[in-house]
Amino acid sequence: MPLIDSFQRKIEYLRFSVIDQCNIRCQYCMPPEQKLWEKQPNLLTFDEICRMVTILASLGVRRVRITGGEPLVRKGVPDLIRRLNDVSDLDEVLLTTNGIPLPTLARPLRDAGLEKINIHLDTLSAEKFCKITYGGDIRKVLTGIEESQRVGLQPIKLNAVLQKGINDDEVEDLLRFTANHGLILRLIEMMPIGPGRELMPSLYMPVRLIREKLAEKYTLSPTNPHLGGGPAVYYRVKELNTVIGFISPVSEPFCGTCNRIRISSDGRFQDCLAFDGTFSFRDLLRNPLMTDERIAAKVHWLLSGKAESHDDFQQAADIRTPCMTGIGG
Ligand code: SAM
Ligand code: SF4
C-alpha cells in the first residue's frame, strides 16, 4: 500500500541522517559547546539503513537523500551509496554535504554511483566562513566543489542559508559564482530550529526580499518548478544565464505539497521538521522477530499522524529541542 497521509499527500522522498556529528559548526545549526553525540552503537548500521530504505521503497519512496550532521564524517558512506543504488524501486540516491570532505571523497562517491550532489556554502569570504562555522576552512569546500565537477557530479546545487547582515549583501556574488561555475544557487530561509531559534530575531529575513532586489537588476522568470522535485521555487536569471532557487519554509510554508519524511541517525521517524520525532525504528530493526511487514505497518501508522501544516513554525518548533544535526535538514 503506498504511503499517503491523512491529507492525501503522497510520500516519495526520504531524508536519512547517518550521523549527528559535524566537522564544522554553522552558528544556526550546531552550538559551539555541543559535544554530546549519539554513541556509535546507537547509530543505525548500514545494514539497518538499507533494510529501512528497502521497506520504504516498497511502499513508494522513490528518492533518498543521505544527510547528517555531516554525512561524510561517517566512514564508508560511498559503500552505503553503492548499496542503496541497488535497492529496487528507488529512482535516486542523493547526498547533501558541507563539501569539506569532497576533495578526497568526490571520486569514491561518483564511483559508487552518485550522480547529483548538494553542497552547503553560505559565503565566499574566507573570514566570514571561518567566523560563522567556528573555524571552518573555505578552501576545502571550494576544492571539494572543483573535485565534484571534475569527477562529473551534475547538477551541483549550492545551498546558502540567508542571514541578515551576514550574507544578504553577498547574494549577487554567490549568484555570479554559481553562474560562472555551472552550479545552481538555492537560498534557504533560516528556521527556528536548534540555535537558529535564538538567532532568528536578528538574522532571519525572508528570501522574497532578495528575489525582489535581484528583480530590480535582472530579468527573473519562473522556470522548471520540478527542477529538484522539492520545495525550491526556481527562477531563470536571463542576464547571467543561470537559475536560482528560493526555499521559504518560514515565510511561505509548502506544507500542502510536502512529500517527505525523515529518519534520524538513531532511527527516529520524523514526519515534519517542525515537530520532534519520538518513535525510533532502531529497536524494531534490532528485534530478530520483527518482520518487514510489521515495520511497514508501523510506518503507515506513524504517517497517519503527520500534521497538515506547521502553521506557526516558531510555535511548533518551540515544542521540540534537538538540533538539525540529528535530523538532517
Ligand atoms: N552538513 C550538511 C550540510 O550542511 O548541508 C548536511 C546536514 S545540514 C543539517 C542540512 C541543511 O540544514 C544545510 O543546508 C543547513 O544549512 C540547513 N540548516 C541547519 N540548521 C538550519 C536552520 N536553523 N535554519 C535553516 N537551515 C538550517
Ligand atoms: Fe554541519 Fe551542516 Fe549543521 Fe553546518 S549545517 S553545522 S555543515 S550539519
Chain centroid offset of residue 140 CA? 20
Rounded CA separation 240/253 (Å): 28
Terminal CA-CA length for the chain? 27
> How high is the pLDDT of residue 103?
98
Rounded CA separation 94/15 (Å): 9
Task: From 324, 325, 327, give the residue whose CB has the most ligand 1 atoms within 8 Å, as the site to mutate.
Answer: 324
171-174: list long-range contacts, CB under 8 Å, 24+ apart. Answer: 171/210, 171/213, 171/214, 172/214, 172/217, 173/124, 174/121, 174/123, 174/124
319: cell is: 515544542
> How high is the pLDDT of residue 313?
61
For residue 68, the ligand 2 atom closest to its alpha carbon is 8
What is the whole-number distance in angstroms between the Cα of residue 275 and the centre of ligand 2? 19
Across the chain, mean pLDDT equals 91
Using pLDDT thresholds of 50, 70 and 90, give the confidence band for residue 321.
very low
Rounded CA separation 212/209 (Å): 5
> How high is the pLDDT of residue 253?
80
Task: Work out the average pLDDT over 13-35.
Answer: 89
Taking CA atoms only, the protein residue closest to ligand 1 atom 15 is 329
**Under 8 Å between Cβ of 132 and 26:** yes
The yes-or-no verdict on residue 176 having pLDDT over 70 is yes
For residue 159, the ligand 1 atom closest to its alpha carbon is 14
> How high is the pLDDT of residue 324?
60
> How high is the pLDDT of residue 37?
76
Lowest-pLDDT choice from 120-124, 231-235, 289-293, 310-314? 310-314
Task: Work out the average pLDDT over 170-178.
Answer: 98
The yes-or-no verdict on residue 155 having pLDDT over 80 is yes
> How high is the pLDDT of residue 38?
77
> How high is the pLDDT of residue 188?
97
For residue 191, the ligand 1 atom closest to its alpha carbon is 24
138: cell is: 573555505
What is the whole-number distance in angstroms between the Cα of residue 217 and the centre of ligand 1? 29
Which domains, from first to last, does the chain contain? Answer: 13-326 (3.20.20.70)
Please tell me the number of the ligand nearest to residue 21's CA. Answer: 2
CB-count exposure of residue 39 (10 Å: 0-12, 13-18, 19+): exposed
> How high is the pLDDT of residue 308?
72
Rounded CA separation 259/324 (Å): 19
The yes-or-no verdict on residue 76 having pLDDT over 80 is yes
**Under 8 Å between Cβ of 328 and 118:** no
Helix and strand numbers (H, E) in the chain are: 12, 11
For residue 325, the ligand 1 atom closest to its alpha carbon is 9
Task: Work out the average pLDDT over 37-63.
Answer: 94
Residue whose cell numbers read 547509530: 43
pTM of the model: 0.94
Lowest-pLDDT choice from 33-47, 58-72, 96-110, 164-178? 33-47
Q: What is the pLDDT of residues 244-301, one digit of tens each?
A: 999 999 998 878 888 889 999 999 998 787 777 778 999 999 999 999 999 999 999 9
Q: Is the CB of 70 under 6 A from ligand 2?
A: yes
> How high is the pLDDT of residue 240?
97
Rounded CA separation 299/285 (Å): 13
Task: Work out the average pLDDT over 148-159.
Answer: 98
The yes-or-no verdict on residue 242 having pLDDT over 50 is yes
> How high is the pLDDT of residue 234?
95
The yes-or-no verdict on residue 173 having pLDDT over 50 is yes
Q: Are strands 233-237 and 242-247 parallel, antiparallel or unpaired?
A: antiparallel
Tell which wins on pLDDT, 230 or 329. 230
Using pLDDT thresholds of 50, 70 and 90, give the confidence band for residue 322.
low
What is the whole-number distance in angstroms between the Cα of residue 154 and the centre of ligand 2? 22
Lowest-pLDDT choice from 180-194, 197-211, 273-287? 273-287
Q: Three-state DSSP class for 68?
A: coil
> How high is the pLDDT of residue 312?
60
Share of the chain above pLDDT 90, in %: 74
DSSP letters spanning 101-133 = THHHHHHHHHHTT---EEEE---S-HHHHHHHT
- Give residue ranges with CB within 6 A of ligand 1: 22, 28-29, 67-68, 70, 96-98, 120, 159, 161, 188, 190-191, 193-194, 196, 324-325, 328-329
**Under 8 Å between Cβ of 169 and 130:** no
For residue 28, the ligand 1 atom closest to its alpha carbon is 23
Taking CA atoms only, the protein residue closest to ligand 2 atom 7 is 98
